[in-house]
Structure 1
């Protein structure tokens, strides 16, 4: 009788699971990244690889980006369902395109990973030294944080040149400094024998949320359950990746062969304190941070209006 009961319960469980699986609706979505597969996207790939998105009814097609990929415009124009953007891009987008609002759902980086990297031999003590010393600074001129630093430090003595990516020019010129992500460029330079000094932009007072999962306001209103599931699955993906990134790093290193596995693993470790904020859930955002970003962009004349914080993100 006991064996029969166990068999009956087992069959009931299998049938119930089959029925639930059959009735579960899977929604296909595209998630556009603004760069290639790197540690800053680890949690998204984790959620995809381990079936977390699928368990939440989502088939997420992760679409890699590259230099200049306009993810915020792609999202605003309905070309993709979800995209990775930065907080300043969202504010600027709502200022310029208020009818097709892009809204933040989940912010990976609580501290922006933007850096300026210089040669340690130059002995710079602060980021101001980089701007106010002779030499070359490679940076994308239109970046809001560069405009913020120019406003803060004044006219630079450094020769500002366009950022072309990579670290080749840095390695070949001892007076060369450049922009970057703390998880990538310093590791690449050090691997090639350079001694580097990095300065976080956030330490100077400009600290936007970075690697922000975003959607259109229209999507949030029309399909709130999908958006809720996307946020929950993404949070679980990041929890898993922060706990053990090795398997996902192995996968990403096959997609992005410009970085070796050791660099992926080191980058994943370096970024952890920039992602985890004491006393709050992964990905959470606050109105105060958004209001500060709006104020700073207004002072930099990057925007004409002042979008309200409640329109910029979903808590």
Structure 2
């Protein structure tokens, strides 16, 4: 009898010991994100802190994946308390990120190379658009090709690399150059006018106003830049690569979500830019899909960038005298945070 009691007592002690060990293991897992070797444990909530992204314009479907990642909590899952700050005519994402006020930004590939030429150590970590959505918009039937732009009044952002390229490549000597302000009013009033814009936005607005229009993709001129590249600084990559990886993991997931679920995300974007209509945002989301997920991204995945295209772009900017120094192009971009 005594032996049976002792056996049951021993079994009870063993069970309690196992439960105690399990409880200890659970407590360590929830209170620490690394093991004794510094490796992250599975199922942990990461805590990387605050981060900010500055976009290149007011909230639009062109930023849809980042807003999707914010709305769906993908940044939170990666341990990021994320803020998205909309850009605008007077907002320079490159300056804000370079100053350290934000960790990430949107810009065009040529603008990043121009910044690096001035000694600002920015690095592209992903390209949203494989084919730039930027277009030159004309009144219907007035322009068939880039050579027909001669003699027109053209509204572009001052110093735009693509415009300098087109003027040189198509020998445009008689154009009247005007600064683009974001307004379509002067374009609408002048049949001889041409304005820059995004295929995802301005053609829709003009159609709404009954203004028949055509457009030429900048990409088709031979100036094959990446548009809406996501960038950070050399310093952030060196000092906090985990932050960059977490940001890109959530961003890629956000863009993949937005691709199929834009109707769920667009009302959230509209909160950040009430002037948008859901109809216009639907147009933009549909118009941009092939530009984002087609091309090289179809084979290599969202955000892909090639050294060949970056080198070609740098060569064009050097020829035009827009940049002065031939940089080691491998330092201007990286795909390492897309490969995880």
TM-score w.r.t. length of structure 1: 0.89
Q: How does 1:40-55 map to 2 (within 5 A)?
A: 40-55=62-77
Partner residue in 1 for 2:157: 140
Distance apart, 1:22 and its partner CA:
8.5
Compute the RMSD of aligned alpha carbons.
Answer: 2.0
Q: Which residue pairs with 2:209 in the alignment?
A: 192
- SS in structure 1 of the partner of residue 83 of structure 2: strand
Asked if the contact 1:116–1:127 (Cα under 8 Å) also holds between the matched residues in 2, the reply is no
Cα deviation code 1:148-201 (max 9, x no counterpart): 011112234332222121222222222221111111111111111111101001
8 Å contact from structure 2 (residues 164, 320) kept in 1: yes
Structure with the greater alpha carbon radius of gyration: 2
1:183 aligns with 2:220: no
**Aligned: 1:63 with 2:85:** yes
8 Å Cα contact 2:45-2:79 kept in structure 1: no
Q: Is the 8 A contact 1:183 1:267 kept in 2?
A: yes
Of 168-177 and 33-42, more deviation after overlay is shown by: 168-177
**Pair 1:101 & 2:121 matched:** yes
Q: Separation in 2 of the partners of 1:159 and 1:218?
A: 42
Aligned residue in 1 for 2:184? 167
C-alpha distance in 2 between matches for 1:275 and 1:238: 9
Residues of 1 paired with 2:80 and 2:46: CA distance? 10
Match of 1:252 in 2: 269
Paired residues of 2:46 and 2:78 also in contact (CA < 8 A): no
Provide the C-alpha distance between the structure 2 equivalents of 1:171 and 1:243, rounded to a whole number of angstroms. Answer: 34
In 1, the alpha carbon distance for the partners of 2:46 and 2:102 equals 23
Secondary structure (helix, strand or coil) at the match of 1:278 reads helix
**Does 1:115 pair with 2:135?**
yes
SS of the residue corresponding to residue 263 of structure 1 reads helix
CA shift in 2, pair 1:68/1:246, >3 Å: same
Query: Given that residues 32 and 64 in structure 1 are in contact (C-alpha distance below 8 angstroms), is that contact kept between their aligned partners in structure 2?
Result: yes
Matched with 2:147 is 128
Distance, in Å, in 1 between the alignment partners of 2:271 and 2:332 is 35
Q: Report the Cα distance in structure 2 between the residues aligned to 1:255 and 1:184, rounded to whole angstroms.
A: 17
TM-score (norm 2): 0.83
State the partner residue of 1:36. 58
Deviation at 1:284, TM superposition (A): 1.1
Alpha-carbon distance in 2 for matches of 1:30, 1:254: 18
CA contact (8 A) 1:166 1:185 kept: no
Distance 2:181 2:45 in 1: 50
SS at match of 1:279: helix
Between the aligned partners of 2:177 and 2:46, the Cα distance in structure 1 is 55
Contact 2:146–2:170 (CA under 8 A) maintained in structure 1:
no
Tell me how many residue pairs correspond in the alignment: 299
CA distance in 2, matches of 1:263, 1:60: 26
Cα deviation, residue 48, structure 1 = 0.5
2:97 is the alignment partner of 1:75: yes
